[in-house]
Amino acid sequence: LDSVAMEAAQARLDSLTKPPGSLGKLETVAKQAAGITGEAMPDLSRKAVVVMAGDHGVCEEGVSAFPPEVTPQMVLNFLNGGAAVNVLARQAGADVVCVDVGVNAKLEHPKLVSRKIRYGTANIAREAAMSRAEATAAVRVGYEIVSEMVAKGTRVFATGEMGIGNTTPSAAILIALGGLSPEQAVGRGTGIDDARLRHKRGVIERALQANEVDQDDALDVLAKLGGLEIAGLVGVILGAAAHRALVVIDGFISSAAALVASRMAPLSVSYMIASHMSLEQGHHGMLEAIGLSPMIHMDMRLGEGTGAVLSFHFLDAASNIMREMATFESAGVTQG
Amino acid sequence: LDSVAMEAAQARLDSLTKPPGSLGKLETVAKQAAGITGEAMPDLSRKAVVVMAGDHGVCEEGVSAFPPEVTPQMVLNFLNGGAAVNVLARQAGADVVCVDVGVNAKLEHPKLVSRKIRYGTANIAREAAMSRAEATAAVRVGYEIVSEMVAKGTRVFATGEMGIGNTTPSAAILIALGGLSPEQAVGRGTGIDDARLRHKRGVIERALQANEVDQDDALDVLAKLGGLEIAGLVGVILGAAAHRALVVIDGFISSAAALVASRMAPLSVSYMIASHMSLEQGHHGMLEAIGLSPMIHMDMRLGEGTGAVLSFHFLDAASNIMREMATFESAGVTQG
C-alpha cells in the first residue's frame, strides 16, 4: 500500500469537524482506499460485482436444501436482473457481471460471460473436485475478467457467487486451511435441518479423508475440495490486488475464496474489505483466519454478493466524507 | 403493529427468489415497516434526521475532551451543511432538521428550529438537570416537530444529537434505568484518557447520589439526570410511534433517549430500528436493555445521527427488494 497517500488521507481525516477516529471503519476504509489506489481521495464510483457460477458434484450426497438445477435457473435470473444482487447493485450504481465458470448445463445469454472450465466439479466425497490445471484455469478466468474491467475503469469489485451446494466445499476449505473442526466450520447453508446438518458434516469428513490435501499448498486444497466458482473468485481477488483495486468480500463462500487467496498471496489481504457477518456459522472463524472484520451484521445468508454490494454504500460514504465535510478551520470549530 | 400488512409482506418475501429468511434483517425491517405503516409495501422515500442540540452543566466538572463552546459551533456547522451527518444525509436523500432545545448560547440562523427550553442543564453532579416541567416541555418539542413533519409526508426518522458532555447524562440514565454498574456504563465519549475516565465515573456516581431518582418513573430520571436534547429525542421517538412512522436510533445518546421512551411507552420499541453498535462501551448493554439489535458494526462514536442515517440505505434496500425482485414463479426457479 502507498504510505504517502495514506498519510495524506489521515491528515485530511484529522482536519475534519469530528473527534479523531470517531467515524471508525469509514475512516479506516478511506485510508485503505488511499493506500490501495495511491491517491488520497480516489474516485470509487465505478463499481461492479462479479458473480461466479459453478456446480458441485457433491450435491449427489444430498447436502443442500435446493436441487442443482437451481444453479442455471438463478444464473438466468441474474442475467435478467431479477435476483437480490441485481436489486442491490442497481441501488448502489454497480454493474453485475455474471460468469459461467463451471455450471453443469449449457447456458446461453447475450449478457453471460461464458468461461466454462468444466461441467461442475466431481464429487469431493469420493475424489478431487478438479485437477490442478483446471483450478489454475478457473483462477485465471477471474483474474482476466478483473484485468479487463480495470482497464475500462472499474476500481471497486465485489465478490459474488452462485452454486447449489457450495457451502460444503467452502466449509471443507475452512477446515483444511483454517484449522477449524467440522463442528465449528459446517453450517446450515440455505437452510437444512439438524439431521441433514449431521449428514453434511459426515460428507465433509469423508471428503477430507478421500482427498489428502497439502494444507501448505492452497492451490492443492482449492483443486481437491473445489469449487470452480470459488477458484474464479480467487482470481477476482488476486486480480484486484494486482491492479490496485479494492475488493469487497461477501459471505461464507466468497470468504473461502479470500482465505485461499490470502494463503497464495498474503499481501492480497490489504486489498480486501470484509462486508458482512453471515449467519452461516463458520463465517466468523473464516474471517478471523483471514484477519478481516466485517461492517454489517444483518444475519444474511444468501450469498450472490448481496452483503458485499450492500456495503458499497459505505465506500461511497467514506469518499463523500473525505470530499464534503467541513474542516475545523473552515467551520470555525474549536479542536479538542 | 398491523398484523395483516405484516402477513402480506411475509408472503411477498417468501415468494421471492431466495431461500426463506436468507436476507436476514432486510426482511425483518421490510416486515416491521409493513406493520408500522399498515401497508405491505410502504413508500419509505421521505426520510429525515432530527438533530437535537443542548448543553450540559456537568461540563464544568471536566468530563469531556471538547469545550462546551463546540456545541453552538457544531450547530452552525449542521446548519451550513458541513458536518458528517449532513454529508451522509445528502447521500441518503434525507432532510436534516436541527433543533436548539437547550444550547447555552444565543443562536440565530434561517434554518434553525429554535425551541430552546433553557440555556443548558444544571450540573447533575450537584442538582437536578432540569425541572420535571422543563423535561416535559422538551419532550413535547420533539413530539411536535415530528407531528408537523409527518403531516408533510416524512415517514422515516433518524435520531441525532449534539451536546458536548452528553455521554455523561446518557451513562447516568443507563445506570438508573438499565441497572448497569458505572464500570459497565461509563465510557470515553469523544475520546478521554484513563485518568479522565476514572474522574467521569466519579462525577456520575456523585450525580446519582445528589439526585435521588425514582427508577420506576422514567420522566423523573430524564429530568434529574438530563439533558435537554435527550428529552427532545424522547419526544421524536414517541411522536414517530404515535404517528406510525419508523424511527431509526443512532448511538449511545440516542439510545439513552430510546431507553427512556421504552420505559414511558413500552410499545414504542416496535417502532424503533437500531442502526449501529457504537464503540462507546455502554452501548451494547443499553441496546440490550431496550431489546434492540443493531445492523452496523463500524466502531463509530460520533453521534449526530451519523449511524442512523447510514442505515437508511438498508431501509431503501428492503423496500427495493420487496418491489423489484423476481418471484420463483416469474423467474422459473425451483423452490427448495
Instruction: Please check whether residue A250 is in contact with residue A305, taking contact to mean a CB–CB distance below 8 angstroms.
Output: yes
CA-CA distance, B51 to B229, in Å (whole number)?
Answer: 8
Q: Do B336 and A67 touch (CB under 8 A)?
A: yes
Nearest alpha-carbon partner for A98 in A165, A137, A145: A145
Count the neighbouring beta carbons within 10 Å of the beta carbon of residue B46: 16
Contacts of B82 in chain A (CB under 8 A): 17, 324-326, 330-331
A88-124 pLDDT per residue, tens: 999 999 999 999 999 999 999 999 999 999 999 999 9
pLDDT at A164 over 90: yes
Which residue of B161, B193, B297, B320 is the best one to mutate when testing the A interface, meaning the one whose CB has the most A CBs within 10 A? B297
pLDDT 10s digits, A274-302: 999 999 999 999 999 999 999 999 999 99
**What's the pLDDT at A189?**
87
Q: What is the mean pLDDT of residues B142-169?
A: 98
Q: Which residues of B touch A79 (CB under 8 A)?
A: none
**Is the Cβ–Cβ distance between A290 and A177 less than 8 Å?**
no
CB distance B65–A19 less than 8 Å?
yes
Per-residue model confidence (pLDDT) at position A151: 98
Scan residues 132-151 of B and list those with Cβ closer than 8 Å to A. none
pLDDT score recorded for residue B331: 96
Q: What is the pLDDT of residues B246-293, one digit of tens each?
A: 999 999 999 999 999 999 999 999 999 999 999 999 999 999 999 999
pLDDT band at residue B77 under the 50/70/90 scheme: very high
User: Nearest-CA neighbor of B305 among B265, B275, B263?
Assistant: B275
Quickly state the pLDDT bin for A244 (edges 50, 70, 90). very high
Q: What is the pLDDT confidence band of residue B335, given thresholds at 50, 70 and 90?
A: confident
C-alpha cell at B159: 435520531
Here the ipTM equals: 0.96
B190 touches chain A (CB under 8 A): yes
Q: Is residue B42 very low, low, confident or very high in pLDDT (cuts 50, 70, 90)?
A: very high
Query: Average pLDDT in the A304-320 region?
Result: 98
Q: Which one of A69, A87, A250 makes the best mutation probe of the B interface by having the most chain B beta carbons within 10 Å?
A: A87
Q: Specify which residues A160 forms β-bridges with.
A: A51
Residue of B nearest to A84 (CA): B325
B278: phi > 0 → left, psi -120 to 50 → alpha, else beta; which? beta
Q: What is the pLDDT of residue B226?
A: 94
CA distances from A118 to A59, A98, A232, B15 (A): 16, 16, 12, 32
pLDDT of A49 strictly over 90: yes
Question: Do A80 and B20 make contact, defined as CB atoms within 8 angstroms?
Answer: no
Please give the torsion angle defined by the CA atoms of residues B196, B198, B202 and B207, in that order, rounded to the nearest 10 degrees. Answer: 60
Alpha-carbon dihedral sign for residues A191, A192, A194, A200: negative
Interchain proximity B334–A90, CB inside 8 Å:
no
Looking at chain B, the whole-number percentage of residues with pLDDT higher than 70 is 100
Shortest alpha-carbon distance between residue B28 and chain A (Å): 10
- Cβ atoms of B303 and B254 within 8 Å: the answer is yes
Catalytic residues of A: 304
Dig out the grid coordinates for A333 from the structure: 470549530
| A25 lies within 8 A of chain B by CB | yes
Element (DSSP H or E) covering residue B84: helix B84-92
CB A299 to CB B25 under 8 A? yes
Average pLDDT over residues B133-162: 98
Q: Residue B82 is nearest to which of A17, A86, A306, comparing CB atoms?
A: A17
The pLDDT of residue B334 is 93
Kind of pairing between the strands at A47-54 and A156-162: parallel
Angle at B287 between CA B285 and CA B289, to 5 degrees: 70
**Domains of chain B, earliest start first:** 3-41+321-331 (1.10.1610.10), 47-314 (3.40.50.10210)
